[in-house]
């Protein structure tokens, strides 16, 4: 006759590899979760810093363009008398005798803008 202990032993031994696999899977998932919790905030911080860097680079390019434009204007004001005359007449609303000026935009003195 079979004793109850002998039939239970094969069942227990068949269950152990399954439990070992489950335990290994649980350890791997726990390790991955720990790694994710450790590195995800830093990854998000790096992503925000990269976006901020891209924005700063765009701002720098825009400011460099403005600086180049102003340097050119300064050079023209210092060295080109015709340009200086044109700018002065435009800003002071002056005109030469027998000259007619047409403005296609709103008046500079118009406060309704």
- pLDDT values of the chain reduced to their tens digit, one per residue, 113 residues: 455 555 555 566 778 888 899 999 999 999 999 999 999 999 999 999 999 999 999 999 999 999 999 999 999 999 999 998 888 888 888 888 888 877 787 766 555 44
Residue 62 tokens read as: 């825009």
- Taking CA atoms, 58 is separated from 11, 50, 65, 68, in Å, by 69, 12, 11, 15
Give the pLDDT score at 112.
47
Q: What is the DSSP letter of 105?
A: S
List all residues 6 or more positions away from 89 whose beta carbon is below 8 Å from its beta carbon: 95, 96
Q: What is the DSSP letter of 109?
A: T
Give the pLDDT score at 9.
54
Residue 14 tokens read as: 């068949």
Prediction pTM value: 0.51
- Taking CA atoms, 64 is separated from 10, 32, 69, 74, in Å, by 80, 46, 9, 15
Q: From CA 36, how far away is CA 4, in angstroms rounded? A: 47
Give the pLDDT score at 45.
95
Give the pLDDT score at 109.
59
């Amino acid at each position: 006759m079979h004793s109850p202990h002998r039939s239970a032993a094969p069942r227990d031994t068949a269950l152990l590899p399954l439990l070992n696999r489950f335990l290994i899977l649980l350890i791997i998932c726990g390790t991955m979760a720990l790694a994710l919790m450790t590195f995800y905030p830093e990854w998000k911080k790096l992503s925000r810093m990269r976006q901020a860097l891209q924005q700063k680079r765009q701002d720098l390019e825009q400011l460099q363009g403005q600086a180049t434009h102003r340097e050119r204007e300064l050079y023209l004001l210092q060295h080109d008398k015709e340009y200086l005359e044109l700018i002065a007449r435009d800003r002071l609303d002056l005109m030469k005798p027998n000259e007619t000026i047409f403005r296609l935009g709103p008046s500079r003195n118009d406060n309704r803008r």
